[in-house]
Chains A and B, each alone.
Chain A
Amino acid sequence: MKYVDSAQVQKNMGGRLRTNQIMKILFLISTLIGLVVLVVLFYRVLADGLGWINMNFLTNRLSVDADRAGIMGAILGTLWLMLVVAPVTMFLGIGTAIYLEEYAKKGRFQSFIQTNIANLAGVPSIVFGILGLTVFVRGMGLGNIVLAGGLTMALLVLPIVVVASQEALRSVPQFLREASYGMGATKWQTIKKVVLPAAIPGILTGVILALSRAVGETAPLTVIGIPALLIPFPDSILDKFTVLPMQIYYWTIDSALVAEYSNLAAATIVILLLILLIMNSIAVIIRNKFQKRF
């Protein structure tokens, strides 16, 4: 006796199976739309900008003359900015994560800080710019220098570092801590010599991702008031500065006036994306190579 008549099943389910197939193709197309835009964007930027990248472009100062304009100042500005953002955000982010994961008692206060960090991550970056303008630039009278921009950016990317570090600390198994206590180590010794070394790949990955966010961020710096003028190269964290995204911004909005500025913007985008690609590759390598599975 035949239990299932496949012809009958086909007949009954045919329409539904066909809908399933059609929708599957639709879902695939949707997924590909994002990727197509990505390819067009990359193609567009490379086609416009690649021809403009040469040694002069990389090492020259800014100039109103498109043929002589270079982005050395913006590259140096980005580096100086990172010299402020990296230590500040690492110190605050890792410290907060250690407190939350290792010391804080599970309770209202801990979940209050946790909720606060989640909300901070959702605050628009431009609002951080307003905070920086009010507190660092005007309140402390720093002016629009690297230090003020860096502190603002450090607070902006802080939640990324905290969350990544917390996850890294949480993934260190309890038995490592217990073994350390068993050997007579104190809590801080255990954290310093056992937990942190085990968690460091995850923490570093988070830090690099946070920094790459800071490298590409523009909005808070426009609020702080980074000048479009030609300024000397920054030599310390107390100098005025510009960064790559700001340069892209000014060249893009001025491309209506001088057509070549659009190419300069595209060329700067290529450099910016290259820097981000390198940073993200380092993060991936660290994660894959050093992350131990317990």
Chain B
Amino acid sequence: MDNEQNRDLKVREMIQQNKQNVSLNSVTEKLMPRFLFVVAIISIITTIGIVITLLTETVHFFRDVSFAEFFTGTELSPLGSDAEFGILPLVTGTIISSTIAMFVAIPIGLMSAIFLSEYASEGVRRTLKPLLEVLAGIPTIVYGFFAFTFVTPLLRTIIPGLEPTNILSPGLVMGVMIIPMIASLSEDAMSSVPNAMREGALALGATKLETTWRVVIPAAMSGIVASFVLGISRAIGETMIVTIASGSSKNFTFDVTQSMQTMTAYIVEVTGGEAPAGSTLYYSLYAVAMTLFVFTLIMNLIAQYISKRFREGY
């Protein structure tokens, strides 16, 4: 009798405890999605943070320097009493270094992609692709060292007029750095072209080259072009290679043997020099960073648009 009552009590306790557990569970159950939602919002806050910091300080900058002077000025001499803040030397530096890089990365990257996707056997592909991707994993500072201490001296034996710091060497090295990115993305795009299309072309008597050129590449065009655009965006935002190997002279020139400064390298130089907060020099940092941000954002949006809009569904 006593025993039975005891057992009854225990069961009651257990039910009570279970109820508590369930209510605790339902609290976590309700709170967890909200909590994770807040966490997910942080990525958006980061973007907003970037835009707001750049915008507010850029507005300060344009109180001191006019729009016209900034975007059309060919002279950049931020130090001294008669400071000039024309961004064109930095824009040309950025465009020239990126163009050199693309001259290396687009043909080599695309041809590597063609080889890996169309010609290489499965075994060869499996060995070569990871090896190529090692190139993408090497920190950019190492490429900077390589450009400055190896490529530049090597180029100077070939091109005597080359300055110790120049835009050519970092441009070339940057191109090598971007090869795996273009190769990998283009290869993905080409591999996703269905085999039936290749077989159709081959059955009509086309050679492998003709199949690749006339069938596979047109079909994979959106992915390939998107990879080019992403490569350009990467080249524009690349910092350490150009900072180390291209020096800091703010020439407005198109001569690749000369030292030029890119937008990214300018930011490193100005922050490294500990510009006093509140000075025009300090605000110029944000104006240049804003321009850089807009450049790369446009490139990334174009890449996303191309790969979404022109993707062919099979």
Residue numbers of A with Cβ under 8 A of B are 13, 16-17, 19-20, 23-24, 26-28, 30-31, 33-35, 37-38, 40-41, 44-45, 48, 91-92, 95-96, 98-100, 103-104, 112-113, 115-120, 122-131, 133-135, 138, 155, 158-159, 162, 186-189, 212, 215-219, 222-225, 245, 248-249, 252-253, 255-256, 262, 265-266, 269, 272-273, 276, 280
Contact = CB atoms under 8 A, between A and B. Distances in A.
Contacts of A127: 50, 54, 237, 289, 292-293
Contacts of B255: none
Given A41-B146, A92-B43, A249-B244, 7 more contacts: A38-B131, A100-B40, A103-B36, A120-B47, A130-B50, A223-B268, A280-B137
A19 B212 CA distance: 13
Interface residues of B, number: 85
Nearest to B129: A31
Contacts, number: 249
B46 interface: yes
Contact of B300 (A13, A119, A225): A119
Contact of B239 (A96, A124, A272): A124
B162 interface: no
B297 A122 contact: yes
B140 interface: yes
B166 to A, nearest CB: 14
Contacts of B114: 27
B271 interface: yes
A28 B125 CA distance: 11
19 contacts: A13-B207, A31-B111, A38-B131, A41-B138, A44-B146, A99-B36, A119-B300, A124-B236, A124-B238, A125-B237, A126-B268, A127-B237, A130-B267, A216-B142, A222-B243, A249-B244, A252-B148, A256-B164, A266-B145
A272 B139 contact: yes
B168 interface: no
Which of B37, B179, B240, B277 has the most chain A CB atoms closer than 10 A to its own CB?
B240
Given A23-B209, A41-B138, A188-B29, A219 B115 contact: no
B53 A134 contact: yes
Interface string B137-178: 111111111101110000000000000100000000000100
Contacts of A158: 43, 46
A150 B16 CA distance: 47
Given A216-B141, A249-B141, A30 B207 contact: no
B145 A120 contact: no
B304 interface: yes
A266 B301 CA distance: 38
A259 B48 CA distance: 45
B49 A135 contact: yes
A17 B211 CA distance: 12
Contacts of A122: 230, 233, 237, 296-297, 299-300
B203 to A, nearest CB: 14
A126 B244 contact: no
A99 to B, nearest CB: 4
B186 interface: no
Nearest to B41: A113
Contact of A130 (B54, B179, B230): B54
Given A33-B108, A38-B134, A99-B37, A20 B140 contact: no
A30 B209 contact: no
Contact of B176 (A20, A37, A48, A218): A37
